[in-house]
Structure 1
């Protein structure tokens, strides 16, 4: 069969950077649709109305780049929040109310457009696959158009907290049904490919690996010499012998309580003026502050709080080692961010991290939640400090070859073409 030119894609999502915040999913959707458009794809993005009007979805420069590639990006808005002002729309209960209705309305709208011949491919993010997936299972007309779904990090399946496990049950049902309804299900890392059949019941033959990514040029452009100097002065880094950095929400599952204990054990092996910087906010901060005081390492630990993109990427340039002791994880974009700034990494062998960090090549992997292993691996990394520049160079090569958005967007477009070229 002849392929359509350009390929017309319906992108089903709820949020996109910068209209709805700065998180990993928001950035994933933004970079996916804009890089696909740069490659000549015509994308219609379905999201909730903007919650931030500080800046437009795309700049004039980016719009020109998409047009030069022959692509286009249109946006359709659907109401998401049906809760009262007394209930946060994205709380667990708020999501249980809002998401089923949102994904159902989204599915109906996209299904009508597919029946009218408006799209060649439907691509759903996360829970947004459910509504369209249900309609597609009950309408053979919709099954003529390829459908691909990305369930992302599967946090709802991994949490060890039994209360969250119970609360997430409705989301797991939506994820599983929607993703199983697709022709292709995306695993964001090769090492997590088996998670989709295991957790969601997806046919292994339908799983395709398309990594989550970062935009290398964007990340490096956020670095500024004046902010590098400002961050050094603000955090007193000129006086430090060793600077460790961790970046994420301050939550129990990120394993910082494990890292604090490991660092306390390593004090005799650490240089006198070592520092551990924690960037991020979250409910675990008070407990971590109390823990580092009890361990006697508070003078070495700084809770930096939230940083802007420019501040964070400038800070990456000023640290020595990135440490990510997470207990469970999705793809881990912060690990990629540290790597593109030429940093060696010590990180848990969780989620997609083993596809990014390789023992003795650009860092070392640690058993999640094992304080003894973390302390031993940190000690080994410190002993190999002379190799850190070589590890940092390897980090850059890994990101640029596999996890840069232009590479991943081409892989996504190639999968669209395979789906369109296959006779079912």
Structure 2
């Protein structure tokens, strides 16, 4: 089996967690499956890169000035589609796997031109990120997300929360959606150097992530006065970059916390790992979190975690067992849980031990790759079963999958349209 993956983000390009997800998934899938990844280049990474059985192809963006974001998305997809269709003309693929709406147009073009089944992973939704749709751009993105799920044979989501979000927003039948969680490679959180990242005896409270409203760093900052009342020796580190950074720094000064809050900006993996080892608590107070990979990263870093009880975070963390959960958007609840953790070393050790066991048993990338490959094989099995024997008898060897996909497209389209109309 050979799978063609489409993603706009892939290392060294890293904006959110999508690129790392595709990297890890493809790495472990490639133990049994050949994986070709088509992504966009950044002018520095090679146009073609071989990593075991994973081959990365980086398309070149058009040298045309783009007036707005929507135009950039279209040009991105044209570049990806050109590269993907060219590759599909040279080798035989079994499945296309698209990651999020930004590659929807390219994925659909390859699907139609090459008559291939499409799998789509929806990592987050525009309505979820923004607690609704408030402008034309958000409505546009939402419509592309719906279109991608409509065109896909199967839709993969990372949590029960996302299952219901995608099902309800895009009116998908339940049996079209598979829940496969994100994973964590705990070896990536091992230290290569010893020693604390900061020379302090204070109890470090550590946040790392994009500094955007949905990640909730502003809630953590508002909780600090109450935390310091109970634990005067606490110190907050907010690592990462994003549009809220200046606002957060200004707010820390307004609150008189400038000497108790550090903003180191973007940090590399080694620095992140050293912060995790030194921190007394890793805190992720997100307002919207489809999965919550940051909680697993904190657990892999052997740090007790406090999260907001929302989305995927609320599913990963069992309160008092492998972490603590606070009310979303509530600084008082967040402060109370952090204080409880800082003042109870036995609790902290128990949470870390249980979290380590959870990572090994449920969130290992080998398990996630196995479950993803099972989705691929189920699609191909159904596709082959539905191909009439009279047609199959006249096909050249190896053409069964493509012919089956071509024949089924019209009937599946009709079924999905009927479902949208409430007739199926």
TM-score of the alignment, normalized to the shorter chain, above 0.5: yes
Q: Distance in 2 between matches of 1:154 and 1:361?
A: 30
Alignment of 1:21-420 (within 5 A): 21=14, 23-37=16-30, 39-53=31-45, 57=49, 63=51, 66=52, 72-81=53-62, 83-84=64-65, 94-104=68-78, 106-107=80-81, 110=84, 118-128=92-102, 130-131=104-105, 134-135=108-109, 142=115, 145-155=116-126, 157-160=128-131, 165-220=135-190, 223-226=191-194, 228-229=195-196, 231-232=197-198, 236-237=199-200, 239-240=201-202, 242-270=203-231, 272-420=232-380
SS of aligned partner of 2:275: helix
Q: Distance in 1 between matches of 2:141 and 2:61?
A: 16
Shift of 1:199: 2.3
SS of aligned partner of 1:365: strand
Shift of 1:21: 3.5
Shift of 1:298: 2.6
Could you state the TM-score of these two structures normalised by the residue count of structure 1?
0.81
Q: Distance in 1 between matches of 2:41 and 2:110?
A: 25
Shift of 1:54: 8.9
Decide whether the 8 Å contact of 1:276 with 1:300 is kept in 2. yes
Decide whether the 8 Å contact of 2:121 with 2:156 is kept in 1. yes
For the structure 1 residues 346 and 292, does the alpha-carbon distance in structure 2 shift closer, same or farther, using more than 3 Å as the test? same
Decide whether the 8 Å contact of 1:342 with 1:389 is kept in 2. no
Q: Distance in 1 between matches of 2:206 and 2:46?
A: 30
Q: Distance in 2 between matches of 1:299 and 1:128?
A: 41
Decide whether the 8 Å contact of 1:122 with 1:148 is kept in 2. yes
1:111-133 deviations in Å (ceiling 9; x for gaps):
67668871111111112552256
Decide whether the 8 Å contact of 1:36 with 1:413 is kept in 2. yes
Q: Does 1:8 align with 2:19?
A: no
Decide whether the 8 Å contact of 1:148 with 1:186 is kept in 2. yes
For the structure 1 residues 291 and 183, does the alpha-carbon distance in structure 2 shift closer, same or farther, using more than 3 Å as the test? same
Q: Distance in 2 between matches of 1:408 and 1:130?
A: 23
Decide whether the 8 Å contact of 2:48 with 2:55 is kept in 1. no
For the structure 1 residues 413 and 57, does the alpha-carbon distance in structure 2 shift closer, same or farther, using more than 3 Å as the test? same
Decide whether the 8 Å contact of 2:48 with 2:58 is kept in 1. no
Decide whether the 8 Å contact of 2:84 with 2:110 is kept in 1. no
Decide whether the 8 Å contact of 2:287 with 2:329 is kept in 1. yes
* CA RMSD of superposed structures (Å): 2.8
Q: Distance in 2 between matches of 1:128 and 1:212?
A: 19
For the structure 1 residues 301 and 283, does the alpha-carbon distance in structure 2 shift closer, same or farther, using more than 3 Å as the test? same
Q: Distance in 2 between matches of 1:302 and 1:56?
A: 40
Decide whether the 8 Å contact of 1:216 with 1:405 is kept in 2. no
Shift of 1:361: 0.6
Q: Distance in 2 between matches of 1:416 and 1:299?
A: 53
Decide whether the 8 Å contact of 1:251 with 1:282 is kept in 2. yes
Number of aligned residues: 384
SS of aligned partner of 1:46: strand
For the structure 1 residues 182 and 387, does the alpha-carbon distance in structure 2 shift closer, same or farther, using more than 3 Å as the test? same
Q: Distance in 2 between matches of 1:110 and 1:305?
A: 36
Could you state the TM-score of these two structures normalised by the residue count of structure 2?
0.81
Q: Once structures 1 and 2 are overlaid, which stretch shifts more, 46-55 or 174-183?
A: 46-55
Decide whether the 8 Å contact of 1:103 with 1:127 is kept in 2. no
Shift of 1:408: 1.4
SS of aligned partner of 1:122: strand
Q: Once structures 1 and 2 are overlaid, which stretch shifts more, 94-103 or 173-182?
A: 94-103
* Corresponding residue of 2:392: none
* Corresponding residue of 2:408: none
Unpaired stretches in structure 2, ≥5 consecutive residues? 387-424
Q: Distance in 2 between matches of 1:374 and 1:307?
A: 24
Q: Distance in 2 between matches of 1:130 and 1:161?
A: 21
